[in-house]
Amino acid sequence: MLKQSTIKQFSNEELNERLSVEIAALSKMKINHAISPLENPLSIKVTRRDIARLKTEINNRKNTK
């Protein structure tokens, strides 16, 4: 789980890189969960929210420039 204070410390390149990693992890979790239930299905929810936090920070930086 990423905290907003941690996300704000990332550079733009790190944000974009982390976003792509999280999206790949989410799609992999969804596929694995469809085949056999995950041990912790709440991890999908946490990852989805992390992606939203990253996208929000990226959009905030674009709008302030």
Q: What's the number of CA atoms in the CB half-sphere (13 Å) around residue 24?
A: 6
Query: Model's pTM, two decimal places?
Result: 0.91
Quick: pLDDT tens for 8-64.
999 999 999 999 999 999 999 999 999 999 999 999 999 999 999 999 999 999 998
Q: Where do we find the tokens 């992390």? A: 50
Residue type, 55: K
Task: List Cα–Cα distances, 11 to 26, 31, 35, 64, in angstroms.
Answer: 22, 30, 36, 15
User: Distance (Å, rounded) from C-alpha 64 to C-alpha 36?
Assistant: 44
Structural domains of the chain, with CATH:
4-64 (1.10.287)
